[in-house]
Chains A and B, each alone.
Chain A
Amino acid sequence: MLEKVKKLIEKAGWPRVIIGLFLLSLFFTAPFVGIRVSTSISDTIVRFAMNAVLVLSLIPMVQSGCGLNFGMQLGVIAGLIGAITSIELGVTGIAGFLTAIGIAIPFAVLLGFFYGLLLNMVKGDEMVVATYVGFSSVAFMSMMWLLLPFKSPNMIWGYGGEGLRTTISVEGYWLGVLNNFLSIRIGHFFFPTGTIIFISLIALVVWAFFKTKLGTAMTAAGSNPVYARAAGVNVNRMRVLSVVISTVIAAIGILVYEQSFGFIQLYMAPLLMAFPAVAALLLGGASVSKASMGNVIVGTFLFQGILTMTPSVMNNLIKSDMSEVIRIIVSNGMIVYALTRRMKVRT
């Protein structure tokens, strides 16, 4: 019995076991501090659904050896452009959401392509360079949001008459188009069926991609570039392709996030977007060079679960706001943990 438990723990990995137990204990404590369990669970699921696609977007780049996509903001920016353009066009409902995706994808492909070329020039330091690509692109877009000629009164500043607002509501356009599709509501429990289906679809596509000849070549390029080259794979092309795919999925991911969250956040809001996603993937057991769908699902659930539960439970327990502190400790701690583990494998 003990042996079995030991093996199970080893298979899951200590970080997941510890965080999982912690999350479980939070669910058990919740009723005693006056928090409804059904609300807690459905909050966790909704947040999981909001973030899963963003976390998923990291996979292609990890698999191709480009490391964790700390420059996810590029994809996010493409998504934001799609979102505001669809609102400018005034398309509502699911059509509006699809329009946003349709507009976002070409931008994501273009940005991803150049981003991929850049990463090929800095092999070995992808993650450091990516971080600054992400940061600087957000700063650049902060100027662009002011200058771009959008006219919809729902989006521009009330006083100057030009420049986009920091926060734009998607209410009346495509708020909850996925979340509410076939959704289930029992008392205080809410299940966002549409979003979960949408996530499953994207996950299926990504999974299938890595089952194809091309996807296998990409995995090999990441696992051992010299081996891949000796087998006739153009490693640089694989890497660029993976960056493009990652960026496109990130663009879709932010739209899924917004339809659930209800707001498009511009300017500095996307600045730290990559960190929680990266932390979730690592928490799920992925490494810098290997990640699977399982890592995405487990990681996102645990990470978002902690983020949902700690503020409400802890705040009620100690009567002070700890949520931000816990979020920072968990997400950055996870990143540090994973990066140190990579060093061990290398030497």
Chain B
Amino acid sequence: MDEKQCLLRMQNISKDFFGNQVLKDVTLQVGKGEIVGLVGENGAGKSTLMNILFGLPVINQTGGYQGKIFLDEREVSFSSPFDAIEAGIGMVHQEFILIPGFTATENILLNRESTNYSIFVEVFGERLRTLNREAMNKRAITAIEKLEVQLDPNMMVSEMPVGHRQFTEIAREMDRVSTKLLVLDEPTAVLTESEAETMLKAARKLANLGLSIIFISHRLSEVLSISDRLFILRDGQVVRSLESSKTSPREVASLMVGRDIKDGDCGRSEELKESEVVLDIKDLWVDMPGEQVNGVDLQVRKGEILGIGGLAGQGKLGIANGIMGLFPAEGEVKYKTERLPLNNPVEVLERGMAFVSEDRRGVGLLLDEPIDLNIVFTAMQIQKRFIRNLFGGLLKWRDDKEISKVAREYIDSLQIKCVSEKQNAKELSGGNQQKVCLAKAFVLNPDLLFVSEPTRGIDVGAKSVVLETLRKQNREQGTTIVMISSELEELRSICDRIAIVDEGKIVGILPPTADPADFGLLMLGEKEEVRAGA
């Protein structure tokens, strides 16, 4: 790329959140009229990088960033999104930021309307000018025409299909004359295939008009087809910058996931193949917002640790939540050959299954209650343990002494750092809260344990304790474990088999020793590529 043509240059950008390094020395250029793809796993640092570019207040509040940003060869540093917009950077968000009760035109021109003079201006100032509907309509149509899409400027946003909302967002950026760089964050995530195609065409069109675009997407084929160049982020670093035309999905996927794993005890998968099926899931549908499950078939074998991986929002969390009865589910689930009633949390627990939720603070803990009660509560309600029956069972008295004793045992064995078992759960750190959640599940003596995102948001030390505890529970107690995690490396280090979920379905099950690229390709919906490569 010709240096003169460079529109945006981000140089040696580093950023940490309270000591947690999320971006390290990231350098990235965008040329004029160029479409640059940005790919990476969840948590690779894509969003943080864009937040820095856009000057979101959260960056400043957490101590700013290191490095320099040049726009048109002028160093810039935005302290608020308004400055960024002023400078010509437009952003189209993953979640639409539109006013549902306004028309497309009104949304596109919000706060930049064409106005007419009215007499009240003399008294109350500029804000009382009246709207010039005709001029506004013309401007909206011009903006929409730039995109070459079908969009009725007078349609209410609330009545639009999602695709049109997306176009409205982009048209809004188009109306700003100054917009030079457009950031599209997962613009096709919610679109149907044909809508996505139109969207990509529109983006190409804009690039031809001289606009630069940063395109973020999880759909690898899309990114490859539309962008001129690709930046691959991994663990906060740009691992490679590639010309789109000279690469393959396989190469990109392996760069994205790309770590080599230490060999765990992977010899187990052979003997486990013979073991009986303990949980048989057929055509499971779960209505969990943001984690929809659309017809999952999966078999869990006795004694194994089954991993479920996949990108965020693809439905891997929905599987466990659906089976445990926390979200409406449909389908056929057999547990130990008996049919399991869905949407019934009590029954599932009574049959000997347990669940460690990904939503620690929301579902997993009673934050305002002491640790010991947190640990034993479910066992007490479901298995009627830790209860002394007084007056012939008329009075079910809580056995506080026994509760404290058991809690102290778990505090010791899981190394939960706390003042005493009477400390409130909210005062613990994330890692220790997670250990309490695990203890709560272990105390039920489950045969089958679902663990959802067990290491999310906890530090490295606690992470390894949590994983080690799970492994121990599996080996010593024979507990079958289904572990759901966004971190592939973690799954590969502990699981016997790993199922990958994409768009609410299981797209493949791989042994942990499989090529990292295959995992990457499955996650990115490139199932055929895996077969071709294998």
Contacts and interface: CB of A to CB of B under 8 A. Distances in A.
Interface of A: 211-217, 219-220, 223-224, 226-227, 229-233, 289-290
5 contacts: A212-B395, A213-B396, A216-B381, A230-B355, A230-B357
B364 interface: yes
Contacts of B349: 231-232
B533 interface: no
A246 B369 CA distance: 22
Given A229-B326, A230-B355, A230-B363, A216 B378 contact: no
B345 interface: yes
B397 interface: yes
A66 to B, nearest CB: 16
Contacts of A224: 362-363, 365-367
B367 A232 contact: no
B365 A233 contact: no
Contacts of A289: 368
B384 to A, nearest CB: 8
User: Which residue among A213, A224, A226, A230 has the maximum number of chain B CB atoms within 10 Å of its CB?
Assistant: A230
Given A220-B366, A223-B368, A231 B398 contact: no
Contact of A227 (B324, B346, B366): B366
Contacts of A226: 326, 359, 362-363
Nearest to B364: A227
A223 B365 CA distance: 9
Contacts of B363: 224, 226-227, 230
B58 interface: no
B365 A213 contact: no
Contacts of B261: none
Contacts of B395: 212
B70 interface: no
Contacts of A211: 397-398, 400
A301 B134 CA distance: 70
B78 interface: no
B346 A232 contact: yes
B398 A216 contact: yes
A213 B398 contact: yes
Interface in B339-382: 345-346, 349-350, 355, 357, 359, 362-369, 373, 377-378, 380-382
Contacts of B255: none
Interface of B: 324, 326, 345-346, 349-350, 355, 357, 359, 362-369, 373, 377-378, 380-382, 384, 387, 395-398, 400
A290 B367 CA distance: 12
Contacts of A227: 363-366, 377
A65 to B, nearest CB: 11
Given A213-B396, A214-B396, A223-B367, A233 B381 contact: yes
A184 B159 CA distance: 76
Contacts of B326: 226, 229-230
A233 B373 CA distance: 15
B382 A231 contact: yes
A230 B368 contact: no
B73 to A, nearest CB: 42
A290 to B, nearest CB: 6
Q: 7 tightest A-B contacts by CB?
A: A232-B346, A213-B396, A231-B378, A223-B366, A226-B363, A224-B366, A211-B398
Given A216-B380, A219-B369, A230 B396 contact: no
Contacts of B364: 227
B378 A232 contact: yes
A213 B366 contact: no
A223 B364 CA distance: 12
A236 to B, nearest CB: 14
A176 B257 CA distance: 79
Given A213-B381, A230-B363, A231-B377, A290 B368 contact: yes
Contacts of B381: 213, 216-217, 231-233
A135 B367 CA distance: 34
A202 to B, nearest CB: 17
A221 to B, nearest CB: 10
A212 B398 contact: yes
A229 B359 CA distance: 14
B357 A220 contact: no
A169 to B, nearest CB: 40
Contacts of B384: 213
A9 B64 CA distance: 39
A254 B384 CA distance: 37
B380 A230 contact: no
User: Which residue among A211, A212, A224, A289 has the maximum number of chain B CB atoms within 10 Å of its CB?
Assistant: A224
A345 B362 CA distance: 15
Contacts of A217: 381
A290 B377 CA distance: 18
A226 to B, nearest CB: 5
A229 B327 CA distance: 11
Contacts of A219: 369
B377 A216 contact: yes
Given A230-B357, A232-B382, A212 B396 contact: yes
B345 A232 contact: yes
B291 to A, nearest CB: 15
A226 B396 CA distance: 23
A214 B377 CA distance: 11
Nearest to A287: B368
A92 B326 CA distance: 55
Contacts of A233: 381
User: Which residue among A214, A216, A226, A233 has the maximum number of chain B CB atoms within 10 Å of its CB?
Assistant: A216
Nearest to B379: A231
Contacts of A229: 326, 345
A213 B387 contact: yes
Contacts of B396: 212-214
A224 B367 CA distance: 8
Nearest to B390: A212
Given A213-B387, A216-B380, A220-B377, A230 B345 contact: yes
Contacts of B362: 224, 226
A216 B372 CA distance: 12
B369 A223 contact: yes
A290 B364 CA distance: 19
Given A227-B366, A289-B368, 19 more contacts: A211-B398, A212-B395, A212-B398, A215-B398, A216-B373, A224-B367, A226-B362, A226-B363, A227-B363, A229-B326, A229-B345, A230-B357, A230-B363, A230-B378, A231-B345, A231-B377, A231-B381, A231-B382, A232-B346
Contacts of B369: 219-220, 223
